[in-house]
Structure 1
């Protein structure tokens, strides 16, 4: 059998149109007119289902055959439409002698017109008639649409005459793009041919420049909607940056300007080289494979590669784990490398287009008027940095580093063809170039630039020069961090962090980061800070503690970059401890002096403290949007100021007694009450309360005590802007289980506790302060939201209803978290505090986790003094400061073991079954 014959047989295994038509004919022969449609529909439904199952089997058998799967889907829909059209026009609405107006061309448009579809893509079709629609054409179109809808297809359709089609194409870019991909499916071919000729003659020839410009604007707007980075960890395979739509945009532009019939023709018209087209094909095939698997797995048109889908697609595409990296991380690295290829091709394509149209006096890319004098042999091509000859890098590979240094120094864009040459010649960067003092100085100057190092380093990364010059960085290029906390790949996160550092140094974020903006100017070791930011995550994916391994990388790399011994040691220390400050601020009680002292003993110097604060800030900010908030800013500021005081003076400026006396004095001045009355009031609160709470919260608490002294229960709530949260205060007769009930009530009202301090007055009154945010890290500010929180707490404390059933019935908010397997752990520490046993619980974040843990603590008969809650995507880290019922640390090994066991049970969700105490 010939290859063509094999192809037809292969297609008939998906759907045999003639056989299906014969089956419908035989069914109709024995049916009444009223039964014909339903019986024909049943045959088509079975045919569609079987065709999809065959395509799915082929995809699973050959999991990388993306484009083949996409064309098979389009072929299946073609045949279904043809059969449906023939049935409608012959069985339902037959016309013996059609007039000139009774003609219809069924045209596939958009992606379907290109002959490529994912399993659940929209079926975009246009019904084109020669003139205005007649009664017969309206009947046929309506019947066709109902047929397709009843088959479960999502149809995007239009029904227009040829004149209407041309008129609307001139007015609307979306229609113009859809028709650009127009492909005849069935019906009257002459109508299609006339519409196609008129489209090219009357629309395309008049609107070429406008089409290209609008497509570029449309692309940029789409990228902004999708996060404006091709390295977001849950990318949109269709519309995201570096996705299929970017490749399609290149083809649309090439087709519009040069009337190419297929992407391969872009080579013939000079818009891509053969090698570039090979990369185009490879990237397109991979992206189509991923998209088809996603649709097939989810059973719907799902184009966002979510965490749960990443695992399943990686498994289907037969990725296996390697030391230090899971199968899903290896799959996603390949995804991002393909997305990067798409970005590279876009730049080169536009450069070729610009050159071709530039010769005709038209340009679509911006030009720059600046003409710097010293370019060391490089030249300007219409405002962009370019090469004087194609072998310019080969004659001196250090120019590969100098290119980006000059781009930064003179604020120049790099010509895309120069970027292509840099990408091609990056392999020339060998050991000799890496050890060259001038090359390292040029790189360091670029990294530490006060201008815009982020943009230039990203260009260097796109050209693969970055990874070649710093091989350790090359290992994390396109490497994802498979969790819900990090939004970007490791290389993108690091480059963004450097950009944020430069912006803070320029004062661009003084409102969000007033402390960092102030102290960054005091830093002596400026280049140490930039290098540390670059290297802080460089050892991720190596199968060990990336902080320890990264410090080893720093010790080897820094001398090469030209840093002296002291600078190298400081960079290595910063990389080793880059998580220390955030862990201390967010997981520990900063009012406990032991916390500050331990942190200060690790930091040892004010310069390191300043460096560590700024590194911590940019690291958190570069994780992704919405991760930074004013609560984190305040905690880091509190830790910095307390530690700076210890480092400067060797101890806290004010001892415990002096601090308490100072707070009491400030409160008495604010309240303006008689000394004897104030003394009695102040005596009600224990020493720990005065140390733990800030002045403004103390004043608010004491005013509540004054005005509600006879009330059995007081619940107060207000927006607390200093911490970007809602402050909730509960005054109630202290009794066991109070905290877990309040925690459960806050969760039921839609809140999430981020900090809690629990106090008991000398006369047995509980004074509990909670900082609460919504699930997106925002404070509750609206009156009805705050009232709902108060009502929920009041109902829980009044025991109006059982908490456990309501908590179990509350829907799970983080469905995506199910893609991650987190083994819970409980750490007991009797050294972190002089007064308390510190318990840290790491577990998968889920609804009512804090309530379950608090209930477990209550049932273990321990006294809770403060709780500190931190979440990192799907992972929760809850820290509790506790004592036994007599106020001492929990020392018994047996008791600690029992407490650990109960907390582990609660952390796994088994705590739902713990009996709730009335």
Structure 2
């Protein structure tokens, strides 16, 4: 059905005809994107004009005006109708009656309506008081009635906007900044708000308003296409949900991607991020230009008076060869020749980052248009300028974004294209892959005094996740890519080998420290063999911390830092020629002996809670309170040896919302004359929120769990039912693997699963059912993912035979899947 036939159907049948024609347009016509939005706007225009004509009769001095998104002709399937009934004030009663005849049919059809009834003077006064109203009126479009009345208001509103621009544009900028603070940056969010987040549709509208002021203009290239892409996604989202929503939730992304003909949700998010990045960068450039113009206007009268009326020339301060500062931006010197100086983009970027200044849009575009490619390998100056740029701290980010916006980064580093705007579907990660790499370099710049080769640290930070654009293990793929990139940018063979090792093993320290037994000599030997040298270990330690800090708040803590530092100390000793420390037979402390004797005497569990702290390291910022930072709480449980102790204790901790970080279990020998055997469980725990429960409550519940009167599984299931988790992307199934070479003292079984209350309880119960004993557990949780390693033995304390270990792992995996 054509647009004309749809409109004729609407006109012939009134409101019901409009509803039918609207539904047909949204469901049957294969015209997505701008054609459908335009057709929906035209259809709605004709229907409202028909309502207006029928209701107005002979009434004069009144018009119907579309404002806001409807005024721009951007009607998405569930968009509000933003309408202004404009009148000259001569017959308020008749205008009120007309308003009823307009608004009620809209409401009767269930359409969202944002409406107002005003005279031109009232509209101008309201716009002067409310910036959002004024922004909506900038897009006013005549629908029906007195065209002269509408045209007069448009002329007056635009004149007011331009006259008041020096005052109103700073208000608009502040409004955009406040919204960005609330909603976040669209280009990094896993569930972005397409309209309200920074880089979204509201920011695109704000840039139109700036252009209408004639004070400054946004970079046009790619801006309209970015805005169109976000509108297309919003259209598909409205149709998928049947709601007027702008939030692209996880559960809707696959359906929206399919409606747009995209491969998958990741492809959808990448396109959304690319569009948001264009709008955000255009906003940065535009608001910088607005500030420059306003400063210039305020200073111009005074300067002209001082110089006798002549216009002063802008000052230019040299920053580097071919690079100068002018008017708060970094620009190219007049004598610069980008066509003959391939290092100039990196030199300009490094100078800008070191000075904490933005790169001029015109400078970046000139570089993109004229600069020659760097030879391979790069000259030493290019490599040095890249290192300087990466080591400049937070100012590196906007400078890098300016280069990336004009395609210069992918010219310098072609492999960057695969990680650019790539989403990370992990709640632990705050950034896309490319931004995470830059953030890691920013964090690493704080550690350059800790290492002997800061250049290798910074480049490793930039490349450590470069393999995430390829299938398979990103560390393995990244090692190959890093080797190629490092050689291309001019590092020698030895440095290339170090960089590839850092990328290959950038997760080694934190994963080993949190998932393996550091007292086991095999653990330390494995890391020492992978690292190879003291200098590489030093770099890897700094890279590990920078990577974790750049990932997000959940990826690093004092506890993780202390474990990594302990591992580094042990590995450093081995690399220096010392033998790995052999674990000494565990000897009970006085407190442990007291707990064991009390447990043996009472026949039940005995508990002790103690906070654990660590003084800050030499590189940690000073704490004004002077208090050591808490690493968690040590929980000691002594209980007579019997089956089911581990799952019972883990279940009780889960019931009390205690997060387990590490767990060790061992039998204590009792003094002569004391019958029985006592197990000592040593846990490090932290409260999920709130304060820690009292030891007496934990003990009471543990007693009930051990005698069978407390249904832990049922209690945990009730809690999950009372607080259902938000529906989202289906988690991948759990995976259980055996690491036979990880220890000579025990069998290491690793569990990767979706974190959930009671997970450790279920694992412990499954291991008990399999007839194995747990020597220790190393629990690591990142966001929604749990990666736990369990050191298990047979009843005699020996590692499990290979076949038995495989069978236990398979059975555990089946249990967790069930």
Say yes or no: TM over 0.5.
yes
Q: Is the 8 A contact 2:661 2:778 kept in 1?
A: yes
SS at match of 1:414: coil
Residue 408 in 1 paired to residue 353 in 2? yes
Note the 1:429-828 alignment, pairs <5 A. Answer: 429-430=372-373, 432=375, 435-449=378-392, 452-502=395-445, 504-505=446-447, 521-648=449-576, 650-651=578-579, 656=584, 678=590, 684=593, 710=602, 712-714=604-606, 724-725=631-632, 727-762=634-669, 763-773=676-686, 779-782=688-691, 796-797=705-706, 799-809=708-718, 810-811=720-721, 815=726, 818-820=729-731, 822-828=732-738
Distance in 2 separating the partners of 1:184 and 1:792: 72
Q: Any gaps of 5 or more consecutive residues in structure 1?
A: 25-42, 91-95, 259-269, 321-326, 506-519, 668-677, 685-701, 911-918
Residue 8 in 1 paired to residue 4 in 2? yes
- Identify the residue that residue 248 of structure 2 maps to in structure 1: 305
* Residues 720, 642 of structure 1: alpha-carbon distance in 2 compared, 3 angstrom cutoff: same
Q: Is the 8 A contact 1:632 1:723 kept in 2?
A: no
- Identify the residue that residue 174 of structure 1 maps to in structure 2: 132
Distance in 1 separating the partners of 2:335 and 2:26: 46
- Identify the residue that residue 855 of structure 1 maps to in structure 2: 765
Which residue of 386, 396, 405 corresponds with 2:341?
Answer: 396
Q: Deviations over 1:298-321 (max 9, x none)?
A: 23233333443333333332234x
Which residue of 41, 51, 61 corresponds with 2:22?
Answer: 51
Which residue of 163, 167, 177 corresponds with 1:210?
Answer: 167
Shift of 1:500: 0.9
Shift of 1:120: 2.9
Q: Is the 8 A contact 1:372 1:410 kept in 2?
A: no
Q: Is the 8 A contact 2:537 2:568 kept in 1?
A: yes
- Superposed CA RMSD in Å reads 4.1
Shift of 1:488: 2.0
- Identify the residue that residue 903 of structure 1 maps to in structure 2: 812
Q: Is the 8 A contact 2:793 2:800 kept in 1?
A: yes
- Identify the residue that residue 281 of structure 1 maps to in structure 2: 224
Distance in 2 separating the partners of 1:133 and 1:653: 95
Q: Any gaps of 5 or more consecutive residues in structure 2?
A: 301-311, 614-628, 670-675
Q: Is the 8 A contact 1:233 1:486 kept in 2?
A: no
Shift of 1:593: 3.9
Shift of 1:198: 4.7
Q: Is the 8 A contact 2:237 2:256 kept in 1?
A: yes
* Residues 9, 380 of structure 1: alpha-carbon distance in 2 compared, 3 angstrom cutoff: farther
Q: Is the 8 A contact 1:467 1:477 kept in 2?
A: no
Q: Deviations over 1:385-428 (max 9, x none)?
A: 22356994234333222221322344432222212223434xx4
Which residue of 317, 326, 329 corresponds with 1:384?
Answer: 329
Residue 248 in 1 paired to residue 208 in 2? no
* Residues 816, 483 of structure 1: alpha-carbon distance in 2 compared, 3 angstrom cutoff: farther
* Residues 789, 330 of structure 1: alpha-carbon distance in 2 compared, 3 angstrom cutoff: farther
* Residues 885, 711 of structure 1: alpha-carbon distance in 2 compared, 3 angstrom cutoff: closer
Shift of 1:158: 4.6
SS at match of 1:753: strand
Distance in 2 separating the partners of 1:791 and 1:576: 48
Distance in 2 separating the partners of 1:449 and 1:333: 28
Shift of 1:291: 1.6
* Residues 118, 705 of structure 1: alpha-carbon distance in 2 compared, 3 angstrom cutoff: farther
Q: Which one is further off, 380-389 or 805-814?
A: 805-814
Shift of 1:499: 0.6
Shift of 1:816: 5.5
Q: Deviations over 1:616-644 (max 9, x none)?
A: 11112212344333332232233223333
Q: Is the 8 A contact 1:747 1:847 kept in 2?
A: yes
* Residues 70, 735 of structure 1: alpha-carbon distance in 2 compared, 3 angstrom cutoff: farther
* Residues 375, 890 of structure 1: alpha-carbon distance in 2 compared, 3 angstrom cutoff: closer
Q: Is the 8 A contact 2:65 2:84 kept in 1?
A: yes
Q: Is the 8 A contact 1:597 1:646 kept in 2?
A: yes
Q: Is the 8 A contact 1:369 1:383 kept in 2?
A: no
| Count of residue pairs brought into register by the alignment | 784
Q: Is the 8 A contact 1:109 1:126 kept in 2?
A: yes
- Identify the residue that residue 112 of structure 1 maps to in structure 2: 70
Shift of 1:450: 6.9
SS at match of 1:413: coil
* Residues 649, 897 of structure 1: alpha-carbon distance in 2 compared, 3 angstrom cutoff: closer
TM (norm. structure 2) is 0.83
* Residues 170, 490 of structure 1: alpha-carbon distance in 2 compared, 3 angstrom cutoff: same
Q: Is the 8 A contact 2:64 2:142 kept in 1?
A: yes
- Identify the residue that residue 876 of structure 1 maps to in structure 2: 786
TM (norm. structure 1) is 0.75
* Residues 829, 731 of structure 1: alpha-carbon distance in 2 compared, 3 angstrom cutoff: same
Shift of 1:149: 5.2
- Identify the residue that residue 866 of structure 1 maps to in structure 2: 776
Note the 1:288-437 alignment, pairs <5 A. Answer: 288-320=231-263, 327-347=264-284, 349=286, 372-373=317-318, 375-388=320-333, 392-425=337-370, 428-430=371-373, 432=375, 435-437=378-380
Q: Is the 8 A contact 2:338 2:372 kept in 1?
A: no
Distance in 2 separating the partners of 1:349 and 1:455: 14
Residue 831 in 1 paired to residue 741 in 2? yes
Distance in 1 separating the partners of 2:609 and 2:104: 56
Q: Which one is further off, 206-215 or 721-730?
A: 721-730
* Residues 858, 112 of structure 1: alpha-carbon distance in 2 compared, 3 angstrom cutoff: farther
SS at match of 2:551: coil
Distance in 2 separating the partners of 1:814 and 1:629: 26
- Identify the residue that residue 308 of structure 2 maps to in structure 1: none
Shift of 1:718: 6.8
* Residues 453, 587 of structure 1: alpha-carbon distance in 2 compared, 3 angstrom cutoff: same
- Identify the residue that residue 797 of structure 2 maps to in structure 1: 887
